């Protein structure tokens, strides 16, 4: 599928084991382009890249300050995947009406991704998280567990496969202060 808009609700695990809402993550895919936007009460950060380019742009809006940074993407010094395990279950897990499979990825920095993905949808850009390049479908939920035990959960709460405007991937660079 060449175009899709996803929204994830982001929650952080609390000391008592419950999860508290901390923000949203919007993912837009159009052809070879991808834009992710993290929105919290303190920050709006967007990451734009094209799979046919080795550059990406990060924008950050913190209060009245607006910053733009050009980076190499994918990064040269990435954390390495050390284990991938499909988790088989007798029960069916569904997110937004799509049947999902579970996958667990272990990384060299001690972090772990617990992923639910569907094979019912395949996007032209599935790497809205660099870790997802090994996942054989569209990720609809994932929990990142750090080596220190902190857990952040992302669960898709909206999906739209309508055509997207190219203007969504355009940045008015005059609005931002460029940083190195």
Coil, strand or helix at 169? helix
Domain layout of the chain by residue ranges: 3-179
Q: List, for residues 13-45, the tens digit of each pLDDT value.
A: 999 999 999 999 999 999 999 999 999 999 999
Q: How confident is the model at residue 79 (pLDDT cuts 50, 70, 90)?
A: confident
- According to CATH, the superfamily of the domain at 3-179 is Lipoprotein localisation LolA/LolB/LppX (2.50.20.10)
Q: List, for residues 131-154, the tens digit of each pLDDT value.
A: 888 788 999 999 999 999 999 999
Distances (CA, A) of 164 to 45, 106, 143, 150, 174: 20, 34, 28, 35, 24
pLDDT computed for residue 143 by the predictor: 96
Coil, strand or helix at 172? coil
Q: List, for residues 62-78, the tens digit of each pLDDT value.
A: 999 999 999 988 776 67
pLDDT computed for residue 77 by the predictor: 67
Whether the bond between 74 and the residue before it is cis, its omega within 30 degrees of 0, is yes
Q: Is the pLDDT of residue 83 over 70?
A: yes
């Amino acid at each position: 599928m060449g175009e899709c808009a996803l929204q994830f609700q982001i929650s952080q695990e609390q000391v008592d084991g419950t999860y508290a809402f901390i923000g949203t993550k919007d993912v837009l895919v159009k052809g070879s382009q991808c834009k992710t936007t993290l929105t919290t009460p303190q920050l709006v950060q967007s990451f734009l890249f094209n799979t046919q380019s080795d550059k990406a742009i990060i924008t950050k809006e913190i209060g009245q300050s607006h910053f733009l940074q050009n980076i190499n993407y994918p990064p040269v010094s990435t954390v390495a995947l050390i284990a991938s395990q499909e988790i088989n279950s007798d029960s069916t897990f569904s997110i937004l009406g799509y049947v999902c499979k579970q996958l667990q990825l272990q990384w060299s920095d001690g972090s772990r991704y617990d992923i639910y993905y569907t094979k019912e949808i395949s996007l032209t850009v599935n790497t809205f998280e660099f870790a997802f390049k090994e996942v054989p479908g569209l990720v609809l939920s994932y929990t990142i567990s750090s080596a220190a035990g902190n857990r952040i959960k992302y669960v898709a709460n909206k999906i739209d496969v309508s055509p997207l405007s190219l203007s969504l991937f355009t940045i008015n660079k005059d609005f931002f202060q460029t940083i190195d």
